[in-house]
Amino acid sequence: MSAWAARAAAAERAVHTRHLRWLWALPEVRLGRVGWPGRSTHWHYWWQAHLLDCTLDAYQRAPTPWRREASAALVRGVRVRNITGWVNDYYDDIAWLGLALQRGARVAGVRTPGAEQAIMRRLRFGRGPGGGMRWRQGDDVVNVPATGPAAIFYARRGNVGIATSLVNWMLEHLIDPGTGLVFDGARVNPDGAVHTVQRVLYSYCQGVLLGACVELGRATGAPRWWRQVEATVHAVAKHLTDGGVLRGHGGGDGGLFTGILARYLTLAALARPADPTAARLVLDSAEAAWRNRGVAEGGPVFGPQWTAPALAPGSGRAERDLSVQLSAWMLLEAAAVLSHHGEHRGERHGERRGEGG
């Protein structure tokens, strides 16, 4: 096991020890407790989607029956806890779950065709006037947190035309000319005209734009998508880092933002290995997060800013949030993937040069 794989495994054990629990004492039904230590009854649908995604990362790293069973139990937990079905009123939430369920089927054989169909039906009604995805039902906000993951979801299903139109909307309306980064979203009139752009720059918005462009680049081979990938990676490196380390967004929902960016930077790095920028951002961030980790029950604990030492989890501290711990776990799994691929590229390179063992 590589050093990064061992670190990812330590983060996995810590999250499972502190946050994974049985739901309502039901057999084979699990969810992630959103805060530790202490009791927490809040329900964060989209955090559970990323807990599932991280568990699938671990399964890909080291496939075991337990990890597959944990993934299946989390899928059941989301369905049971959501009570009314698979979907809710927030299009970003259900797109995230759709992506995790797609991976569950592909990676671990955890199949939920009824769930994917329900998500598809709901997303169909989420298109805002003009082309992007609404944030939630009945809202005039059309934003990247919904449009980006929906575009990735559609592209992975082979619906390239829909994915392309979604990404085109983001590129047409939300790119900041000063930085090359994508803004969060916009308020849109009924005729599709953009009323007001929400000029905030979040790390996960860059991540989902990257992910969508990588998927479209793979599906179509069109150079425009790879040019956008390169531009976004370099804009992130220039504007969303501190000393080369990806910048965090605190606790709560923001705790997940930068881990999501790391996930899609990794896909970009694997798709375009000739440019080391994306891989360097992930690996340097992972080094910082690991160096600044704390220790709590079950293993390491991470802070929301990977350049600063983590505090002990407690009331009012971001370190208590499942989102923050998932973000770091995601980052370490990403570093493990890049380390593994880098070692294999090095082996192949050595063999070509006659330097293999």
Tens-place pLDDT, residues 86-120: 999 999 999 999 999 999 999 999 999 899 999 99
**pLDDT, mean of residues 231-249:** 98
Per-residue pLDDT, 1: 75
In the chain, what are the domain boundaries?
126-239
Mean residue pLDDT of the chain comes to 94
HEC letters along the chain = CCHHHHHHHHHHHHHHHHCEEECCCCCCCEEECCECCCCCCCCCHHHHHHHHHHHHHHHHHCCCHHHHHHHHHHHHHHHHHHCCCCCCCEHHHHHHHHHHHHHHHHHHCCCCHHHHHHHHHHHHCCECCCCCEECECCCCEEEHHHHHHHHHHHHHCCCHHHHHHHHHHHHHHCECCCCCCECCEEEECCCCCEEEEECCCCHHHHHHHHHHHHHHHHHHCCHHHHHHHHHHHHHHHHHCEECCEECCCCCHHHHHHHHHHHHHHHHHHHHCCCCCHHHHHHHHHHHHHHHCCEEECCEEECCCCCCCCCCCCCCCCHHHEHHHHHHHHHHHHHHHHHHHHHHHHHHHHHHHCCCCC
* pLDDT of 350 strictly over 60: no
Which tokens go with 25? Answer: 């004492």
Tens-place pLDDT, residues 30-83: 999 999 998 777 889 999 999 999 999 999 999 999 999 999 999 999 999 999
Per-residue pLDDT, 345: 62
Angle at 230 between CA 244 and CA 133, to 5 degrees: 100
